[in-house]
Amino acid sequence: MIIEQIYTGCLAQGAYYIESNGEVAIIDPLREVQDYIDSAAKNNAKIKYIFETHFHADFVSGHVTLAEKTGADIVFGPTAETNFNAIIAEDNQVFKVGDITITVLHTPGHTMESTCYLLKDENGKDHALFSGDTLFLGDVGRPDLAQKGDITEKDLAGFLFDSLRTKVMTLADEVIVYPAHGAGSACGKNLSKETVGTIGNQKETNYALRANMTKEEFVKEVTDGLLPPPAYFPLNVKLNKEGYKSIDEVIKNSEKPLSVKDFEIIANETGAVILDVRHQTEFVKGFIPQSIFIGIDGGFAPWVGALIKDIKQPILLVAPEGREEDTITRLSRVGFDNVLGYLEGSFDAWQKAGKEIDTLTSVSVQVLEDKIKENAVVFDARKPGEYASEHIVGVKNTPLDFLNDHISEFPEKGDFYVYCGGGYRSVIAASILKARGIHNVIDVAGGYAAIRNSNIERSAAVCPSTLK
C-alpha cells in the first residue's frame, strides 16, 4: 500500500495518491492532473476512483479532467448533485482499491455533502481518515460557506458537532488523519502548520474535539470570529459542481507572448487587469502604470481570488521570463482562465521600448522609526488576528483582504506608510492604491518581521492561539 500526500503550499491544500495491488485512488486532486497519471503509469497501476470530500470553494479540483483522461469514476458523498457523471455514494458504502478498502463516512457540517473517507488496510483494520474540511489539524471547517434556504451557519455547526462525535471521534486514537488543508487556508480559522496527525492527537489538542464540550459551546466557538469568505469561493464551487475546461486548453489559450505594442493595444481595448507577478523588490523599482502586483512566489492564487474576485476578469501578465506557464497554471487552480497573454520579454521589454513606467517608494524600518517620531500616518495591512496579537502602537488595521472597504480612510495629502508581515502584502496593497490614483503611499520593506527588531513602540504580544 502506498499513501502519498501531495501538498501544495500556495493553496495550503493536500491531495492524496493511494495505491494498492495495481489500483489507485486519488483524493481531492489539483486541477493539473498529469502528475497523478504519471505516478500510476510508473507503477504500472490504474487509477480506479477519484474521491471528492466536498465541493471545494478555494480551488478548482481536477476530478473532471482526471476522469476524462483515465476513465476513473468520480465519487462524491451523499446529497451531492453534479452536472457530470459521478457516483453519489451512500453513507458507509465501501469501495475496493486493490487489497484495501475505502469507506464513505458522510460528515455534514462544513457543507451538507461533506464526506470523510476511511481507509482500511489489507487486514481490514482502520488505518487512515481522509478528513477533507470536516477535521483539520487544530481546527474544523468553517460552517458558514454553504448556507442555503433556512439552513444557517449555526445549523451547519450543529451538524458538524454531530458528525465529529459520531463518525470521527469514535475512531481509534492511532488512526492517521490526512486533512484537505493546513495553515494559511481560509477554510478554517486557526489551522496547524502540521499536515499529518492522528485521531488521538487531535482529541488532545484540537479545541473542537474537547471531550466535555457541549453542542452549544461548539457552535459558539466555531462560528465566533469568522471573517467574510473570499469573493471567489462561490464561483469555484460552481465550477466544481458543473465542470470546467481542461487545464491543457486553458494553457493553450492563455500562453500567448505579446509584443509591447500588442500588449498595450489589448490593455487599452479590453480593460484587462495588468497583473505583475515578479518579486516585490523588482516591482517597486518599476512597473507598468496601474498594474496590480501579486507575486508568484507568495500566497499567489488565494490573493488573486480574494482581490480580483471575478474569475472571468480578463488578465494580462507581466511574469518573470520562463514562468509564464507556471503563472497561468496557478491562476487556473482558482478558476481564473481568462488570461489574454503575457508581455514577451517581461518588464524589461516595456522599459526598453521607452514606455511610461511607475515606481513605488519603499523605505526601511529605520526610516519608518524616524518618521513615526514625526507623527507619520501608518497602516497595518495584516489580518485582524495578526494585528490583535501584536502591532505598532497607534496604527490602524486595514487588512489587505478588505482593502476596498478602507479606501476612504487613506489620506489624500501627505505621505502615509503601509506595512504587513514581511513586505509582500504591503506591496500588493500599495499597488492597488496607486492603481486607484492614491500615490502618496509608501511601502515599509521587511514588514513586521523587521519592525520587531527596531525600537518602534509595539503593543504587548498575545499568543495568536489564545485569540478568539
User: Can you tell me the distance from the alpha carbon of 136 to that of 157, in angstroms, rounded to the nearest whole number?
Assistant: 15
> Do 274 and 421 reside in the same domain of the chain?
no
Is there a domain that residue 239 lies in?
no
- Domain stops at, among 336, 353, 370: 353
Q: What CA–CA distance (Å, rounded) separates 72 from 74?
A: 7
- Regarding whether 70 and 90 lie in a shared domain, the answer is yes
Amino acid at residue number 322:
G
Q: Does 53 share its domain with 109?
A: yes
Query: What single letter denotes the amino acid at residue 138?
Result: G
What is the pLDDT at residue 150? 84
CA angle 381, 386, 388 (to 5 degrees): 105
The x, y and z cell numbers of residue 411, run together, are: 489620506
In a domain, 129, yes or no: yes
Residue 463's pLDDT is what?
64
Q: Which of 295, 328, 353 is the last residue of a domain?
A: 353
Looking at residue 395, which CATH number applies to its domain? 3.40.250.10
Expressed as residue numbers, the domain containing 453 is 362-466
* Same domain assignment for residues 109 and 205: yes
Identify the bridge partners of residue 119 per DSSP, sorted by sequence position.
Answer: 102, 128
Q: Could you please report the per-residue DSSP string of 392-423?
A: BTTPEE--GGGGGGSGGGS-SSS-EEEE-SSS
- Are 39 and 153 members of one domain? yes
Using the 3D structure, point to which of 333, 353, 373 is the last residue of a domain: 353
Give the residue ranges of the chain where pLDDT is below 70.
463-468
Distance separating the N- and C-terminal Cα atoms of the chain: 41
Do the domain assignments include residue 81? yes
The pLDDT of residue 421: 95
Quick one: 339 and 366 in the same domain? no
Q: For residue range 225-257, list pLDDT tens digits in order.
A: 888 888 899 999 999 999 999 999 999 999 999
pLDDT single digits (tens) 48-59: 999 999 999 999
Domain membership of residue 282 (yes or no) is: yes
pLDDT of residue 231: 85
Burial group, residue 116, by CB count within 10 angstroms (0-12, 13-18, 19+):
buried
- Look at residue 19 in the predicted model and tell me its pLDDT: 98
430 and 293 co-located in one domain? no
Residue 394's Cβ-count burial label (10 Å; 0-12, 13-18, 19+) is exposed
Alpha helices (runs of H) in 210-355, residue ranges in sequence order: 215-223, 233-242, 247-254, 260-270, 280-283, 300-307, 324-333, 346-352
Verify that 433 and 335 share a domain, yes or no.
Answer: no
On whether both 59 and 184 belong to a single domain, the answer is yes
Q: Say whether both 294 and 215 belong to one domain.
A: no
Report the CATH number at residue 67.
3.60.15.10
- In a domain, residue 204? The reply is yes
Q: What is the pTM of this model?
A: 0.89
| Residues 101 and 139 both lie in one domain | yes
In a domain, 240, yes or no: no
**Total number of domains in the chain:** 3
Q: List helix spans (H) across 12-145.
A: 34-42, 63-70
In a domain, 103, yes or no: yes
DSSP 459: P
**Does any domain span residue 293?**
yes
Gyration radius of the chain over CA positions: 24
Helix axes 34-42, 63-70, angle to 10 degrees: 40
In 3D, which of 277, 311, 291 has the Cα closest to residue 433?
291
Q: Are residues 221 and 318 in the same domain?
A: no
**Do 418 and 395 contact (CB within 8 A), yes or no?**
no
H or E element that contains 443:
strand 441-444
Secondary structure letter of residue 164 according to DSSP: I
